[in-house]
Amino acid sequence: MRFAYYPGCTATSTSIEYDESVRETAKYLGIELEEIPEWTCCGASSGHVINQELALALPSRNLALANRMSLGIAAPCPACSLRLKTAEYELKRDPGLKTRIEEDIGMNLELSQKSKHILEVLYQDVGIDAIKQKVQKALEGLRVVTYYGCYLVRPPEITGFDDPENPTIMDKIMEALDAEVIDWSYKVDCCGGGLSIVAPEIVKKLVGRIVSAASEVGADAIVTACGICQANLDMRQPKNSGFRLMPVFYFSELSALAFGSPNVGEWLAKHFVDATGLLERLKLL
């Protein structure tokens, strides 16, 4: 199966290990990710605050480029995925707006292909049974909680997959790798997002609450599917809080590990909280 791959800005900068592990996971599962030529920023951080039409034009240009490839889009970033899906949603509802956006970007928009977050691709297009068949190193003994964050499954009328209050897709994928997934009530709580730069104390408070909750339910680690969420949870854990620092993995790092990738150590070396010690103790690395 083939998808037009939209890596997004953070996957080529602060979360390179996410991008690399997503691409490798895809190869193990027979997914061909063809990077969209000349893709540009989707405006996720601030475009919708500055100008609504601009906020739709930015992702629409990437949709138009994917249209030329006759492929649906797969994106690893929840914010990017939301902007792409929002553009699809709004332009299908308003033909007049679609015409204006086409004039803005100088390209036609067919909107015949659907954009998906990479988790959707794994769950819907690959399937849990196929994921299980690719496991070479079961993640036995690893106790995790899954963290979806704000954007991945909200708003449900636009994101269009999983429960917005209690999502389970990432749980099922981790269980297919034989990790023990612990249920908890902080799956979709906010980590502070981009406030890490302008209001780090707020982010530290939010992150502290999330990490403390994960520790209280007995998790060894947190698993996420968002570059900004991973950065906040990894960098902003409060010291001397009474809880140990907790590793924060990308789901794709653990997937690639279970599939036999030799590159996991290289990715984990980029994390702030040590993630290799836990895996070595469990004889998984």
Same domain, 151 and 219: yes
Same domain, 95 and 169: no
The answer as to whether 127 is a domain residue is: no
The answer as to whether 125 is a domain residue is: no
Same domain, 197 and 263: yes
Read off the amino acid at residue 21. Answer: S
Residues 227-240 have a mean pLDDT of 92
- 27: CB partners within 8 A, 6+ apart: none
Look up the pTM and report it: 0.96
For the chain, how far is it from start to end, CA to CA, in angstroms? 30
Cis peptide before 155 (omega within 30 of 0): yes
What share of the chain in percent tops pLDDT 70? 98
pLDDT tens profile 267-276: 999 999 999 9
User: How many domains in the chain?
Assistant: 2
Mean per-residue pLDDT over the chain, rounded: 95
Same domain, 151 and 35: no
Residues 36-49 have a mean pLDDT of 84
Please choose, from the candidates 269, 245, 265, 246, the residue with its C-alpha nearest in 3D space to the C-alpha of residue 256: 265
**Predicted confidence band of residue 278 (pLDDT cuts 50, 70, 90):** very high
Tally Cβ neighbours within 10 Å of residue 32: 11
pLDDT tens profile 6-24: 999 998 889 999 999 999 9
Residue 261 has pLDDT above 80, yes or no: yes
The answer as to whether 178 is a domain residue is: yes
Same domain, 149 and 40: no
Q: Are 121 and 3 in contact (CB under 8 A)?
A: yes
Give the residue with greater pLDDT, 134 vs 239. 134
Tally Cβ neighbours within 10 Å of residue 106: 8
The answer as to whether 128 is a domain residue is: no
Q: Which pLDDT score is estimated for 48?
A: 66
Same domain, 145 and 229: yes
Give the residue with greater pLDDT, 213 vs 197. 213
The answer as to whether 93 is a domain residue is: yes
Give the separation between CA 105 and CA 38, rounded to whole angstroms. Answer: 13
How many residues are recorded in the chain?
285
Give the residue with greater pLDDT, 30 vs 51. 30
Q: Which of 40-44, 87-91, 92-96, 119-123 has the lowest mean pLDDT?
A: 40-44
Residues 61-88 have a mean pLDDT of 96
Q: Which pLDDT score is estimated for 259?
A: 98
Q: Which pLDDT score is estimated for 49?
A: 67
**Predicted confidence band of residue 238 (pLDDT cuts 50, 70, 90):** confident
Residue 47 has pLDDT above 70, yes or no: no
Q: Domain end: 67, 85, 118, which one?
A: 118
Q: Which pLDDT score is estimated for 56?
A: 96
Give the separation between CA 24 and CA 26, rounded to whole angstroms. Answer: 5
Residue 4 has pLDDT above 80, yes or no: yes
What share of the chain in percent tops pLDDT 90? 88
Same domain, 144 and 260: yes
The answer as to whether 268 is a domain residue is: yes
Residues 186-196 have a mean pLDDT of 92
Same domain, 258 and 224: yes
The answer as to whether 124 is a domain residue is: no
The answer as to whether 248 is a domain residue is: yes
> Residue 16 sits in which domain range?
2-118
Same domain, 230 and 144: yes
Same domain, 191 and 264: yes
Q: Give the three-state DSSP class for 48.
A: helix
Give the separation between CA 84 and CA 63, rounded to whole angstroms. Answer: 7
Same domain, 150 and 271: yes
Same domain, 140 and 265: yes
